[in-house]
Structure 1
Amino acid sequence: MTFRDLHFEDEPLLLPNAWDVGSALAFAAAGFAAVGTTSFGVNASIGRPDAEGGSREATVALLARLHALPVYLSADIEDGYSDDPAAVAALVAGLDVDGVNIEDSAGGRLVDPTFPASKITAIKKTSPEVFVNARVDSFWFHEDDTVDAVVDRAKAYADAGADCIFVPGAADPKTLEQLTASIPLPVNVLVVPGPSLADLKDLGVRRVSTGSLPYRVAIDAAVHVATAVQNGRPMPTATSYAESQQRLLDFAHRAAEER
């Protein structure tokens, strides 16, 4: 079994997205075979807005620590943090990950598809084993947000060597059915309220990412704990300190063995 193989199983791959070691450990402990990072969560953890290229150092550092996890790792590298395809390829080669997610927007706007395509080609030339998930941001930013325009971008990235196409913001069943029928690669969507994994499977979706949702829910839960104590409400249940500590001890042991 490889990370690529997970995209061709009977059920769609559900990829949870972590923002720190603790969240990644929790996903691994829950039995997920693969964990991705979330640029929003990583940026938020260092006090930076998302999609401004500020997560590079934090993402690289996080992935270096997560290498000891017994799961496949996929890195959200925004737009590659550079306009130079060679620099993007060098970054990916140094991450030691199973996959990367690279988007075709910068500063909240779509870019010419030839730019991300050239980065994808450079990545695959340098690291052919890395599974490249090419993100098409048309629906996310409501630019060129037609099925035909998205498919054109997806095919350009497929021709460049991408292994999967990520279309965040696509949620309408008819739209998803058209996309999966027209795109010659596995299609990845962002989790949205409503459709179940079974529903998405029937529409042809092969991968579903949680994105920043776990981070945002975790922040809400943390506030809920504090306000529950403040207002005299029952305390919510949680993973015990002992179990959480043991995860960290086991992780530290694996990391030490790999050195």
Structure 2
Amino acid sequence: MHVATFRALHHGRAPGDPLILPGPWDVASARVFANAGFPALAIPSAGIAASLGYADGSTPPEEMFAAIARIARGVPVPVSADVEDGYGLAPGELVGRLLEAGAVGCNLEDSENATLKDPRRHADWLAEVRAHAGDALFINARVDTFLFGSGDPADALARARLYLAAGADCIYPLLAPPEVLPVLREGIEGPINMAAQPGISSIIDLARLGATRITFGPGMQQHATRATGELATRLRAPVRETEPGVVCL
């Protein structure tokens, strides 16, 4: 039921009304977002890595799937998860691990070790993932042309079309400049996921330019970390006595 609900959230949206998916990094943050009324969540691999003490891309798969499972169990809304390039797992095992963890969707990137994969081979791999998943997973195909490639929108469009034909539900052109979004929107027949920084202006701009879905990567975890650091700094500030027996920070 959750996956059907999640998939439906991406379709029939009015122009300028994208699906906003916060990125939790643990159960506590996921519950905050769910309680705020967001209909679904998108777990960032970099946020999970930071919360577990790993560098981005270095989280052991077992720990990543365990974190996904904790979050999925902890909230009543659908949860999708960034699982990088699939951790080298065979498509059937990857799908099984995601479904066992309770995820209804996943991000799968088309790069490895900071190098773009051959798009046709990656499309074939995505087709295998789709064949094993059936309708049970929403596949968000990340296109890394703007991260590790030439940044040519034509290359991003070519990759996007291959991945949609292979069974992807959504295209995620990571780090695509906002001004390129109208070109991508015109050339991609399907939902487009754009990344934003936590902030209303960024969301409004991407919504206006045609984003179907907006996620934040590790941005929310980083925002929370900065806020905690500011609190820690205030708590460590020298204490000043204002009156006998009364102190303030």
Look up the equivalent residue of 1:103 and give its one-letter code: E
Q: How does 1:158-197 map to 2 (within 5 A)?
A: 158-173=164-179, 175-192=180-197, 195-197=201-203
Contact 1:188 1:208 in 2 (8 A): yes
Tell whether 2:128 aligns with 1:125: no
Q: Mark the CA change 1:83 to 1:217 in structure 2 (over 3 Å): closer, same or farther.
A: same
TM-score, with structure 2 as normaliser: 0.85
How big is the alpha-carbon RMSD for the aligned residues of Structure 1 and Structure 2?
Answer: 2.0
Match of 2:206 in 1: 200
Per the alignment, residue 155 of structure 1 pairs with 161
SS in 2 for 1:189: strand
The aligned counterpart of 1:4 is 7
Alignment partner, residue 57 of structure 1: 62
Q: 1:67 is paired with a residue of what secondary structure? A: helix
Match of 2:110 in 1: 104
SS at match of 1:18: coil
Quick one: which amino acid aligns to residue 191 of structure 2?
P
One-letter amino acid matched to 1:30? A
Greater displacement, 202-211 / 192-201: 192-201
Q: Is the 8 A contact 2:9 2:19 kept in 1?
A: yes
CA contact (8 A) 1:89 1:122 kept: no
Is 1:138 the counterpart of 2:148? The answer is no
- Structure 2, unaligned stretches of length 5 or more? 240-249
2:72 to 67, 70, 74: 67
Could you report, residue by residue, the CA deviation over 1:135-179 in whole angstroms, capped at 9, with x for unpaired residues? 0111123x1310000001111101110000001111232x10000
How many matched pairs? Answer: 230
**Contact 1:34 / 1:72 at 8 angstroms: preserved in 2?**
yes
Offset from partner CA, 1:89-139 (integer Å, 9 cap, x none): 333343332111111111222111234323321222122221100001111
| Structure 2 SS opposite 1:97 | coil
CA distance in 2 between partners of 1:55 and 1:208 (Å): 27
The whole-number CA distance in structure 1 between the counterparts of 2:238 and 2:120 is 57
**Worse-matched range after superposition: 12-21 or 41-50:** 41-50
Letter in 2 for 1:76: D
Give the AA of the match of 1:116: H
SS at match of 2:106: strand
